[in-house]
């Protein structure tokens, strides 16, 4: 799991973007839909334009879940169980999409943090988001 240093880096990064978390969520989803358009199939009712209210609202949900996961990193399985069930059994989202969203989130964080999103920060976020994606996908097995 995460080391103490990785947890510190994640917390510091999250604190730096705390005032724009909803923007981070919306930008990450927008990037996901632009770069990986096949992900749009799970959102047939969405307006995919920049600044879309639907993307912003769903981005808030994604960021809230991610923030909860960060706060409860030692208990990801319990913390994300409901989301894992929802995505696997009800929505039937291809689990690859969790990894794609993770990539998009990291790009958005890097664009906002610039030089502060260094190799150590990237590695900590990459490891954390891989854990999140794995937990979200575990019900598919």
Domain CATH code at residue 30? 1.10.490.10
pLDDT tens, 6-64? 999 999 999 999 999 999 999 999 999 999 999 999 999 999 998 999 999 999 999 99
pLDDT at 140 over 90: no
* Distances 123 to 9, 25, 67, 79, 126 between C-alpha atoms, Å: 10, 20, 18, 22, 5
Q: What is the mean pLDDT of residues 112-136?
A: 97
Domain with 10 in it: 4-140
Number of domains in the chain: 1
pTM of the model: 0.94
- 59 burial class (0-12, 13-18, 19+ CB within 10 angstroms)? buried
Q: What is the mean pLDDT of residues 74-89?
A: 92
Check if the beta carbon of residue 10 is closer than 8 Å to that of residue 128: yes
């Amino acid at each position: 799991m995460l080391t103490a240093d990785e947890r510190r880096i994640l917390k510091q990064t999250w604190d730096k973007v705390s005032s724009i978390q909803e923007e981070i969520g919306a930008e990450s989803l927008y990037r996901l839909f632009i770069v990986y358009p096949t992900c749009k199939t799970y959102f047939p009712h969405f307006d995919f334009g920049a600044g879309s209210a639907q993307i912003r609202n769903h981005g808030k949900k994604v960021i809230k879940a991610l923030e909860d996961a960060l706060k409860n990193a030692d208990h990801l399985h319990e913390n994300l169980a409901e989301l894992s069930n929802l995505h696997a059994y009800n929505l039937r989202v291809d689990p690859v999409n969790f990894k794609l969203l993770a990539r998009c989130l990291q790009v958005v964080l890097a664009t906002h943090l610039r030089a502060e999103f260094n190799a150590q920060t990237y590695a900590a976020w990459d490891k954390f988001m891989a854990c999140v994606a794995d937990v979200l996908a575990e019900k598919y097995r």
